[in-house]
Structure 1
């Protein structure tokens, strides 16, 4: 008996269905999309509640300061949880390895950005471009700083006044930096419908991938059989 796609053959191995759908390829697995979406909503909840606590007109409009403060504190504490749960997914771990790896073409991408060159041939990239890698590393560090300073502010009874004052200052400065960086992140996503589609559905057009992320496809084609090379080439689960 011959095995069909997605069924068990004579050896008992399951043949994965092809990841392409009418010229589209899989960019993000369901686990990657859930981690991104959940983290994004928690981050927006943190920023919205922070605005209601620190902006006087919003504070007067919303009221319920104790409730807003509680939601702000717990949404901040829960921020790392989607990331930690995502580590159980092989595709998510593979994506992290790509984000943490800076290649020669990433330096070329950064030079092109600094020179304001917009041609895709001047901005080569793997699955993630250099800007996305820098953003991921920066936002991860900012979340840790915000959590630590937030906890210092929360447990005021065991701290000296000067410690709490310093924590508030760092927390506020980093919060404003996060707001500015997130605005830039959303603006870049708004300008790229394919990137948004990839995060929404998991799939992107092969032509878009070959134009803006050519090394991603090259790396997946050259990856040894059986290695975890990321979402591309893997069935959607």
Structure 2
């Protein structure tokens, strides 16, 4: 008797499951909480800086409070996620560029679309660069935000300088996060992976062939 993923029977070696596990529950919760906090930061910032939105929303003091606490809490999901071994394993993947990542970047520059020319592990090179950029931008935003909140915290750094760096970084974060959302909208399989944790094996082989070869050569559903 054979089975698909999620059933109780065994799957024969030649009858691989159609879906494989991509993200654990802990990873999905970290992503979801971080996404909501980031959207809150960007949304409230827009309400503070764009006059039409500011007039539409009103209650500036409340918007400021929501913005400040969303920023302070932004690292919390990440820190809590460190308790998950699956989350830590994916952090190591994101922090390591492989030779095939250079091939992926070369294919993107030359606009090659064939999956064979864009090899990727569990995360492609673009996702790794995005993760690294956000990991650097968030501490800058928090640090400059605290300097704006607690005036005089570091006298050598003026509040004007902190505001300038905070605003420029915030604009860049808004653009990059917007690009991340746009890319996610183009790929329903990737979005489903963040909702359910699993992906189709065919999609995984097409978009993340090295991950399937290295982690799921026999169709194992384990992460």
1:85 to 80, 84, 90: 80
Report the CA distance shift for 1:152/1:217 in structure 2 as closer, same or farther (over 3 A). same
Is this contact kept in 1: 2:22–2:199, CA < 8 A? yes
1:148 to 123, 140, 143: 143
- What are the superposed Cα offsets for residues 62-99 of structure 1, whole Å, 9 maximum, x if unpaired? 11111110110000000000000000001100110111
Is 1:233 paired with 2:222?
Answer: yes
Instruction: Give the unaligned 5+ runs of structure 1.
Output: 1-5, 7-16, 223-230
- What are the superposed Cα offsets for residues 159-204 of structure 1, whole Å, 9 maximum, x if unpaired? 5596110110010001111111111111111111111111111010
1:101-120 matched pairs, under 5 angstroms: 101-120=96-115
How big is the shift at 1:158? 4.0
Report the CA distance shift for 1:162/1:89 in structure 2 as closer, same or farther (over 3 A). closer
Corresponding residue number in structure 2 for 1:69: 64
Corresponding residue number in structure 2 for 1:226: none
- What are the superposed Cα offsets for residues 32-64 of structure 1, whole Å, 9 maximum, x if unpaired? 000001000000001111111111121122111
Is this contact kept in 1: 2:184–2:191, CA < 8 A? yes
CA RMSD of aligned residues (A): 2.2
Corresponding residue number in structure 2 for 1:24: 19
1:81-230 matched pairs, under 5 angstroms: 81-160=76-155, 163-221=158-216
Runs ≥4 residues deviating over 6 A: none
Is this contact kept in 2: 1:112–1:122, CA < 8 A? yes
Report the CA distance shift for 1:161/1:52 in structure 2 as closer, same or farther (over 3 A). farther
Corresponding residue number in structure 2 for 1:52: 47
Corresponding residue number in structure 1 for 2:3: none
Is this contact kept in 2: 1:53–1:69, CA < 8 A? yes
**Secondary structure of residue in 2 paired with 1:117:** coil
Higher mean alpha-carbon deviation, 208-217 vs 85-94, is at 208-217
The TM-score with structure 1 as length reference comes to: 0.83
Is this contact kept in 2: 1:28–1:232, CA < 8 A? no
How big is the shift at 1:26? 0.6
Higher mean alpha-carbon deviation, 159-168 vs 170-179, is at 159-168
Instruction: Give the unaligned 5+ runs of structure 2.
Output: 1-5
Higher mean alpha-carbon deviation, 54-63 vs 194-203, is at 54-63
